[in-house]
Amino acid sequence: MSIPDVHRPLYHAFLDQACISRGFDTWLARLPEQLARGLDPKRYGDLKAWEKAVAKLPPLPEARRVQLDADSVTVECGLDDARRRQCENLLRALAPWRKGPYRLSGVTIDTEWRSDWKWQRVAPHLAPLHGRRVLDVGGGNGYHAWRMSGAGAAFTLVIDPSPRFFWQFQAVRHFVGDADSGRTHFLPVGIEDVPDELAAFDTVFSMGVLYHRPSPLEHLLQLKAALRPGGELVLETLVVRGDDTTVLLPGERYAAMPNVYFLPSSAALVGWLERCGFENARVVDEADTSLDEQRATDWMTFQSLADFLDPEDATRTREGYPAPRRAVVIANRPA
């Protein structure tokens, strides 16, 4: 089987994991089909253009400074102005950029989300990531994954079915180069494509995904099955204020989003986790989403949070629901 260059690091990482964990054998065997489906040009019209943009990024000097533990994922390698402009144009061809920020060889990508703020809310509460195997479910373009590797994770895998985010990730990887020693990877699939009862990851993140799932308890069980016994789940999702019996199921749209299902209170969410067999479930953060955290920028020019709220009352969405509020809950798969 001939493996395109872009997929080689992923195959190598999966081979390494397969030596340690039997579940990865099964997954490795499914990689060719999963990659072909996730990056099928017949399903995604713009895919070839994104691939070309990444392929055209110029070779970079070996000497570069890579910072994965800063608020902006940063790579500095002293490009001249012409090459910097070339990089900027190619990176713009992958827009909209939603998750970041990044600073790549003098190009500042001011993304829709200040994803670093979410990381600041989550990071202090994590079991130290150093040396751990980490899965980021619905990890967007991989911004948080780079931060996980920056915190010392030994193997970080993003799964996200968006092929645009796959190519944004590959663009960032072009800049990061070997500086992360091949620890950070992206597979363009959804949680439903993770083999059953993998029981392999030390930490599993699901941030900004649960409310998109029509069956949230099934999602929690899938996350649990991916964790090794004793492993840690980090769950971040939209919540509403209320007690352990409060859950909102909005109508067709919530804050203009069509695919939003269950928004529990954080207390109800802890109950769901316990019902799914997690232990030690605890809310470590809960806060309203500010208009400064999610906003339109030069790199994401469509509407953003401010347009999705009631113009007269920012505590309500334009459909009349409570405005976005997010909680971070941590729990463990029993050892």
Ligand X SMILES: Nc1ncnc2c1ncn2[C@@H]1O[C@H](C[S@+](CC[C@H]([NH3+])C(=O)[O-])CC(=O)[O-])[C@@H](O)[C@H]1O
The residues of the shown chain that bind ligand X, judged by CB under 6 A, are: 99, 113, 115, 118, 137-140, 159-162, 165, 190-192, 207-209, 212
Question: Whole-number minimum distance, CB 61 to ligand X, in Å?
Answer: 31
Q: Is 161 annotated as a binding residue?
A: yes
Q: How many helices (H) and strands (E) does the chain have?
A: 10, 17
Question: Whole-number minimum distance, CB 210 to ligand X, in Å?
Answer: 10
Q: Is 257 annotated as a binding residue?
A: no
Choose between 199 and 257: whose C-beta lies nearer to ligand X: 257
Question: Whole-number minimum distance, CB 63 to ligand X, in Å?
Answer: 32
Choose between 138 and 231: whose C-beta lies nearer to ligand X: 138
Q: What is the rounded distance in angstroms from the CA atom of residue 136 to the CA atom of residue 265?
A: 23
- CA dihedral (241, 246, 251, 253) in degrees, to 10, reads 30
Q: Is 30 annotated as a binding residue?
A: no
DSSP 293: T
Q: Is 118 annotated as a binding residue?
A: yes
Identify the residue whose tokens are 């919530």: 254
Identify the residue whose tokens are 């469509």: 302
Choose between 147 and 173: whose C-beta lies nearer to ligand X: 147
Q: What is the rounded distance in angstroms from the CA atom of residue 295 to the CA atom of residue 302?
A: 9
Choose between 79 and 134: whose C-beta lies nearer to ligand X: 134
Question: Whole-number minimum distance, CB 155 to ligand X, in Å?
Answer: 18
Q: Is 32 annotated as a binding residue?
A: no
Choose between 213 and 228: whose C-beta lies nearer to ligand X: 213
Q: Is 150 annotated as a binding residue?
A: no
Q: Is 138 annotated as a binding residue?
A: yes
The gap from C-alpha 301 to its chain's centroid, in whole angstroms, comes to 21
> Is the peptide bond preceding residue 128 cis, with omega within 30 degrees of 0?
no
Question: Whole-number minimum distance, CB 306 to ligand X, in Å?
Answer: 15
- Helical residues (DSSP H) of 151-215, grouped into ranges: 163-176
Quick one: which H or E segment has residue 219?
helix 216-226
Quick one: which H or E segment has residue 103?
strand 102-104
Q: Is 211 annotated as a binding residue?
A: yes
Question: Whole-number minimum distance, CB 335 to ligand X, in Å?
Answer: 26
Instruction: Please calculate the CA angle 62-13-75 and round it to the nearest 5 degrees.
Output: 30
Question: Whole-number minimum distance, CB 149 to ligand X, in Å?
Answer: 15
Choose between 87 and 226: whose C-beta lies nearer to ligand X: 226
Quick one: which H or E segment has residue 227?
strand 227-238
| Pair 166, 38: CB distance under 8 Å | yes
Q: What is the rounded distance in angstroms from the CA atom of residue 240 to the CA atom of residue 160?
A: 26
Choose between 103 and 164: whose C-beta lies nearer to ligand X: 164
Q: Which residues are annotated as a binding site?
A: 99, 113, 118, 138, 160-162, 191-192, 207, 211, 326
Q: Which residues are annotated as a binding site for carboxy-S-adenosyl-L-methionine?
A: 99, 113, 118, 138, 160-162, 191-192, 207, 211, 326
